[in-house]
Amino acid sequence: MALDFIYTHNIGYKLGWGVETTYRELAKAHELDEEDVKRMLRLSMAFLLFDKTADGMVVHTAPSFALATNTGLSAWIGLMTKENWPPMLKIAEVLAKYPGSQEQLESAYAMAHNLVEPPFKTWEKDPPRIKRFAEGVEYIHAGIGFQPLHVLQGNSAPDLEPSTFVDVGGSKGYNSAQTLAVGEQELPDHLRDRVQFTVHNLWTEQPLKHADVYFFRMIFHDWSDKYCAEILRSLIPALKKGAKIIIYDFCLPPKGAVSLYQERWLSDEVFTNGKERDTENWAALFGKADNRFIFLGVRLPPGSKEAIVEAVWAPDAKDPSTTET
């Protein structure tokens, strides 16, 4: 509630560090009632957002100043309060109305926001909304434990030279650049010609054939098993024997292995009826897509919040679509 109030009204966004102001001045600047501002900021102060001096003046704390000055953090807070909070209040209702659904339009998010099209389709028609999403996710992924170079530390890159690495759904190529540069912030000039961009729809046949690795980062948690299986099947015409599928995404740990905070993922079910998966779920997903995907396991590189999920394409394995006569 406090974050939503601050974000919605840009409270303190023009207040400098160490500068004092009054509730009245803040209310006037944002065309709000003074008593309402006082009540909401008192709530905010309980969460270390803003502080009150001995003589009753309002000043920034480090967290409130960060929210006021860091556009990525502000976008993430907007994403949480405006996009994710309303569906949280609908999760019980939607589970009763659509039990076991894997469809995006039968999610708590779709119900809360009265969607007639899936979330990403809806956002495509709302540039400020998609901009907030992109900036918020980029901010989170820049945090400790989310660097793509953990893929190399996890020893999952194929021992091939040269090798072709396809970053499916890789946006601006940040994952590929980081992987090639082994942690460089910018790709060195001598490596630039090794990264190419191709427009591709996840649901259509993969156009880049016979690569050594097909890499997905933070894609599968947004989709239910039904649609994740479709994404994997779209790779099949492009796969050569021994091609690896590496998924860099969350893997739910065994109970008690990590903090309660890390065990609490439900946000993707709220959003698109997607889900976070444990090791058994990942293994079952590859089997659901095609038995010729051989699941190799999951491992969590030291310091990483994302796990490496790996499978290999074995075309000589039994194809479940064929029937013996």
Which tokens is 152 given? Answer: 């190399």
Strands 165-168 and 213-217: parallel
CA distance between the termini of the chain: 63
How many angstroms separate the CA atoms of 285 and 298, rounded? 13
How many angstroms separate the CA atoms of 53 and 65, rounded? 16
Which tokens is 227 given? Answer: 């649609």
Burial of 20 per CB tally in 10 Å (0-12, 13-18, 19+): middle
Burial 36-72, CB ≥16 within 10 A → b, else e: ebbebbeebbeeebbeeeeeeebbbbeebbebbeeeb
Asked whether the beta carbons of 265 and 276 are under 8 A apart, the reply is yes
Which tokens is 18 given? Answer: 């160490």
CA angle 175, 179, 183 (to 5 degrees): 100
Q: Which residues pair with 167 in a beta bridge?
A: 215
How many angstroms separate the CA atoms of 240 and 315, rounded? 8
Strands 58-59 and 307-313: unpaired
Among candidate residues 60, 141, 150, 221, the one labeled active-site is 221
- Is 141 a known active-site residue? no
Backbone angles phi, psi at 168, to 5 degrees: -80, 125
- Residues noted as catalytic: 221
